[in-house]
C-alpha cells in the first residue's frame, strides 16, 4: 500500500512511518520546508506549498493521484482538519488513517487520568511525618513518563513503588536489571522526590549474559537472544540523561561481578553520567536481572547484605508467566529471614518485603 505522510518531519509522523514500514508499506513523505532532515526516512519525498497557499489543495491532490496513494497520515492538528475535508470532497476513497491529533491528545490524557485515578488506594503502611503521598498530578506524571520508556513495570507496581518510597530510610537505591530504564526512571524520580539517595543500575546489557537465562520458556529465550543490547543501553543512557543526571549511575557488568565494585567504591564515574556518590548502605533493592533460580537467589542473598533496617527488597516477576525462579529464590530467603522482616505483599507481580527496624532490646538476640 502507498501511504502519504504530511507534514512528514513531525515526531508523530516519523513514529507512524517506521511502524508502517515494518508492515511493508511504501511511505511517501511530504512537507513545506525547503530542507527537511526527515526526508531521508521516506521512500519518496514531495515538497508542498504552505497549507495557507493558494496552490496547496491542487498540489496535494496531484500528489495523491500521481503516487497512487490509498491512505494518508496527518499529524498536525490544523492540517488534519483541512486534509480530511479535501479528501472527502475530491477522493473519498482515500482515508486519513489517524484520528484528529487534538482529539487523540485529549483522549490519551483522559485515559492517563482514569488509569492513575484507579491506582494507589489500598496500601496502608504508616509513613514518617512529613513524607506525604504523591499528589494526583505527581502520580500521573510519574506513570505517564515511565510508560513512555520501553520496559516491563506496570502502573500498579509503579504506584506501589511510590507508596514504599515515602517510607524509605536514606541510602542507596540499587537496581539489578535495568534494560532501557523504565523502573530505573521510577526509582530515581522517587529517590529525588523523597530525598532518599542516589540510584545505581547494574546490568551487563549483553547478549552473552542474557543467553545465560535458560530456565524460562523458549519464546522468552528467543526474545532475549534477538535483542540489540548496545541499542538498549543507549536508550537507557538517553533516558537517564533526560530525567536523572547527577543522581544515577551504572555498572555495565553482571550483578555477580558488580558485588566487589560496590563493596570497594563509594563513587562510580562513567563517561555518560559523570560522578555519583553512594553510601554503601541500601535503602531499596530492586532485583530484576537474570530470572533463573540460582541467579535470583544469589542476587537476593549477596545484595540484601547491605539492606538497611526499614529498607525494602523488591523482587520483580515473583508471579511470572514464564518461570518460577524469582519466586522460589524469594520464598527461600523470606523463610530464612522471616523474623527480620515486618511487611510483605505482592503487587503487579512483584514481591515487596520490608526489613524490620530492630527495637533496642532485639539487637542482641
Ligand X SMILES: C[S@@+](CC[C@H](N)C(=O)[O-])C[C@H]1O[C@@H](n2cnc3c(N)ncnc32)[C@H](O)[C@@H]1O
Binding site for ligand X (CB under 6 A): 151-153, 176-179, 182-183, 202-205, 209-210, 254-255, 288-290, 295
Q: How far is the CB of 336 from ligand X (least distance, A)?
A: 22
Give the residue at shortest CB distance from ligand X: 151
> Which residue matches cell numbers 526526508?
39
Q: How far is the CB of 194 from ligand X (least distance, A)?
A: 19
Paired residues of 312 in beta bridges? 284, 354
Smaller CB separation from ligand X, 71 or 152: 152
Q: How far is the CB of 105 from ligand X (least distance, A)?
A: 26
Smaller CB separation from ligand X, 42 or 291: 291
Cis status of the peptide bond prior to 347, with omega within 30 of 0: no
Sequence-ordered list of residues with C-beta below 8 angstroms from that of 38, at least 6 positions apart, any chain: 8, 9, 13, 14, 29, 31
> Which residue matches cell numbers 483541512?
82
Give dist(CA 136, CA 138) in Å, integer: 6
Q: How far is the CB of 287 from ligand X (least distance, A)?
A: 9
Smaller CB separation from ligand X, 254 or 304: 254
Q: Max Cα separation, the chain?
A: 87
Q: How far is the CB of 42 from ligand X (least distance, A)?
A: 31
Smaller CB separation from ligand X, 150 or 245: 150
Beta strands in the chain (DSSP E): 2-6, 26-31, 44-47, 71-74, 95-96, 172-176, 199-202, 248-251, 267-270, 274-277, 282-287, 307-315, 341-347, 350-355
Q: How far is the CB of 118 from ligand X (least distance, A)?
A: 21
Smaller CB separation from ligand X, 177 or 197: 177
User: Which of left, alpha, beta for 348 (phi over 0: left; psi -120 to 50: alpha)?
Assistant: left
Q: How far is the CB of 261 from ligand X (least distance, A)?
A: 13
* Phi, psi for 322 (deg, rounded to 5): -115, 5
Give dist(CA 3, CA 248) in Å, integer: 42
Smaller CB separation from ligand X, 38 or 149: 149
Smaller CB separation from ligand X, 5 or 119: 119
Amino acid at each position: 500500500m502507498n501511504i502519504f505522510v504530511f507534514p512528514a518531519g513531525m515526531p508523530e509522523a516519523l513514529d507512524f512511518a517506521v511502524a508502517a514500514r515494518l508492515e511493508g508499506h511504501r511511505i511517501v513523505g511530504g512537507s513545506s520546508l525547503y530542507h527537511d532532515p526527515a526526508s531521508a526516512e521516506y521512500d519518496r519525498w514531495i515538497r508542498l506549498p504552505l497549507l495557507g497557499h493558494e496552490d496547496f489543495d491542487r498540489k496535494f491532490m496531484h500528489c495523491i493521484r500521481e503516487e497512487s496513494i490509498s491512505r494518508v497520515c496527518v499529524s498536525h492538528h490544523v492540517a488534519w482538519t483541512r486534509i480530511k475535508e479535501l479528501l472527502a470532497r475530491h477522493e473519498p476513497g482515500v482515508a486519513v488513517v489517524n484520528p484528529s491529533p487534538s482529539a487523540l491528545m485529549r483522549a490519551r490524557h483522559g485515559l492517563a487520568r482514569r488509569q492513575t485515578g484507579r491506582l494507589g488506594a489500598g496500601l496502608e503502611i504508616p509513613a514518617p511525618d512529613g513524607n506525604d503521598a504523591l499528589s494526583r498530578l505527581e502520580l500521573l506524571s510519574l506513570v505517564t513518563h515511565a510508560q513512555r520508556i520501553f520496559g516491563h513495570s506496570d502502573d500498579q507496581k509503579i504506584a506501589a513503588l511510590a507508596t514504599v518510597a515515602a517510607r524509605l530510610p536514606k541510602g542507596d537505591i540499587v537496581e539489578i536489571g535495568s534494560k532501557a530504564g523504565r523502573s530505573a526512571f521510577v526509582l530515581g524520580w522517587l529517590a529525588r522526590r523523597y530525598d532518599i539517595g542516589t540510584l545505581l543500575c547494574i546490568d551487563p546489557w549483553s547478549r552473552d549474559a542474557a543467553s545465560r537465562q535458560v530456565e524460562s520458556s523458549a519464546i522468552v529465550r528467543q526474545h532475549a537472544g534477538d535483542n540489540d543490547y548496545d541499542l538498549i543501553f543507549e536508550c537507557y543512557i538517553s533516558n537517564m540523561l533526560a530525567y536523572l543526571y547527577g543522581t544515577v549511575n551504572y555498572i555495565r557488568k553482571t550483578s555477580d561481578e558488580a558485588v566487589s565494585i560496590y563493596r570497594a567504591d563509594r563513587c562510580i564515574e562513567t563517561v555518560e553520567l559523570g560522578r555519583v556518590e553512594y553510601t554503601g548502605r541500601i535503602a531499596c533493592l530492586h532485583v530484576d536481572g537474570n530470572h533463573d533460580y540460582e541467579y535470583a537467589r544469589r542476587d537476593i542473598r549477596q545484595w540484601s547484605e547491605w539492606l538497611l533496617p526499614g529498607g525494602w527488597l523488591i523482587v520483580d516477576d515473583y508471579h511470572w508467566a514464564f518461570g518460577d525462579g524469582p519466586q522460589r529464590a524469594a520464598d527461600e530467603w523470606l523463610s530464612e529471614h522471616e523474623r527480620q522482616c515486618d511487611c510483605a505483599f505482592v503487587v503487579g507481580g512483584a514481591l515487596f518485603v520490608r526489613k524490620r527496624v530492630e527495637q533496642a532490646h532485639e539487637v542482641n538476640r
